[in-house]
A = this chain, B = another copy of it.
Amino acid sequence: MWNEISGGVCAAKGFTAAGVHCGVKEGSSPDKNDLALILSEKECTAAATYTLNRVKAAPLYVTMDHLEDGTAWGIVANSGNANACCPLSHENAQTMSEAAAQVTGREPGDFVVASTGVIGQTLNIGAIQAGLPRAAAALNRDGSDAAATAIMTTDTRKKEIAVSFELGGREVRLGAIAKGSGMIHPNMGTMLAFLTCDCAITQEMLSDALHEVVARTFNRVTVDGDTSTNDMCVILCNGMAGNPLIEWKDENYQLFLEALEHVCRALSRGIAADGEGASRLVTCRVEGARSEESAERLAKAVVGSSLVKAAMFGADANWGRVLCAMGYSKAPFRPEHVDIAFRSQAGEILVCRQGDGLEFDEDQAKAILSQDEVIIAVNLHEGEDAAECWGCDLTYDYVKINGDYRT
């Protein structure tokens, strides 16, 4: 088991971080950090997942290239610009890693490069080059907060978490920061999530663990159905905890996997709760499924439905839209077996049994749906499998934020 601790990406031994303002976006507030740097004092085993969007931002290609040897020393990331779809995108992503290498005394290939923000506008690489020496000077063991705020775009809250757990008699620490609020419908990769750990683990085991966990966590979040061009989830492990190297899928691997899943799940929920314009976190839990895959597909269709999301905003117990979304999810199930309930801190109410609507207390339903987190609980009564997906409601503010984001 694990304990939540403070420190974010600096919780693990040997990692420092910093976040500074360098002015990537013209006219941006000097109070808003927009450049993050994370560095390990030892070489790290690294693994990553990337967006499956056919249109990938340049930093992803550069990162893929740099991680080909399975190692890295640090991460450089900016907000305010996605560095995607511009003639200079690729060159600028490379320049970014060169600049990071220069100020840290490392090689460009030692760095993961990430960007987030508007697509299709030329990156102000000069601002980043000018900001990096300051970022390097600011690197410290308490820098996770600053780095977490530096990668925020429309996020209203920073996403940061860390845990400690025991592996082979040694304390291992795993921490992370993430950003994500809009253009969230991860597919294999996700948003930006940077994880650091002092665990000793082989690249193969690390990559397997990351992919397995991402499939069950980040890939089960949707804010608006739009899979980003810049999704990336990276983990760096520097081995400084001194635990016996994880090289098989043994008990220690399992412990690491569980801690990793806890961290990624917390970040996923945080991203959904902070979805653009969101007023509440909406979780759909599908149980009684014949397979986890079906359960996931159904739950994702429900939390992804604009109509369900708008109803959640209005705290309206419109369960017909839940069943309708399940119906077009392409997952097999029998409508006539389905039970649907709404659940929150304020209680639980069954609104549909065996596919038919029940009479229910509208006031009670309203009270349940008015909470910060609402669970749509579906039971298919067809098997033993289950899955949970996370989203948020669709509000006026989503439209406001996205009606004029670019300018």
Known contacts: A120-B352, A307-B183, A407-B316. The answer to whether A227 contacts B402 by CB under 8 A is no
Contact B314 A403 (CB under 8 A): yes
Chain B nearest CB from A326 CB (Å) reads 7
Contact A328 B54 (CB under 8 A): yes
A323 cross-chain contacts in B, Cβ below 8 A: 55, 85, 119-120, 229
Secondary structure type dominating chain A contacts: loop
Does A335 interact with chain B (Cβ within 8 Å)? yes
Stretch at the interface among A6-14, A166-174, A199-207, A392-400: A392-400
The closest CB in chain B to the CB of A53 belongs to B327
Instruction: Kindly state whether residue A362 has any CB partner on chain B within 8 Å.
Output: yes
Give Cα distance in the complex from A333 to B228, angstroms: 17
Whether a CB of chain B sits under 8 angstroms from the CB of A87 is yes
| Residues of the B chain whose Cβ atoms lie less than 8 Å from the Cβ of A406 | 311, 316-318, 320
- Please name the residue on chain B nearest to A82 by beta carbon: B320
Count class of interface residues, chain A: 35 or more
Are A335 and B399 in contact, CB atoms less than 8 angstroms apart? no
Interface residues of A in 196-255 (CB under 8 A from B): 224-229
Copies of this chain in the oligomer: 2
Q: Return the chain B residue nearest A359 by Cβ.
A: B122
What is the distance, in angstroms, from A399's C-beta to the closest C-beta of chain B? 5
- CB of A328 within 8 A of CB of B185, answer yes
Taking CB atoms, residues of chain B closer than 8 Å to A324 are 53, 55, 119, 183, 226-229
A304 to B: closest C-beta gap in Å: 8
With contacts A225-B225, A320-B82, A320-B120 taken as known, whether A306 is within 8 angstroms of B55 at the C-beta atoms is no
User: A226: which of B118, B183, B185, B305 is its contact (CB, 8 Å)?
Assistant: B305
Give Cα distance in the complex from A33 to B407, angstroms. Answer: 45
Q: Which residue of B lies closest to A318 (CB)?
A: B406
Q: Are the C-beta atoms of B399 and A85 separated by less than 8 Å?
A: no
Q: Point out the residue from B53, B226, B321 that lies within 8 Å of A306, measured CB to CB.
A: B226
A310 touches B (CB below 8 Å): yes
Q: Can you list 14 A-B contacts with CB-CB less than 8 angstroms, sorted by A residue number?
A: A53-B324, A54-B333, A55-B335, A55-B355, A86-B356, A119-B324, A120-B352, A183-B321, A225-B306, A227-B327, A306-B402, A316-B405, A318-B405, A399-B399
List 9 tightest A-B contacts by C-beta distance, closest first. A119-B320, A314-B403, A55-B327, A310-B402, A120-B357, A120-B320, A53-B327, A227-B328, A314-B404
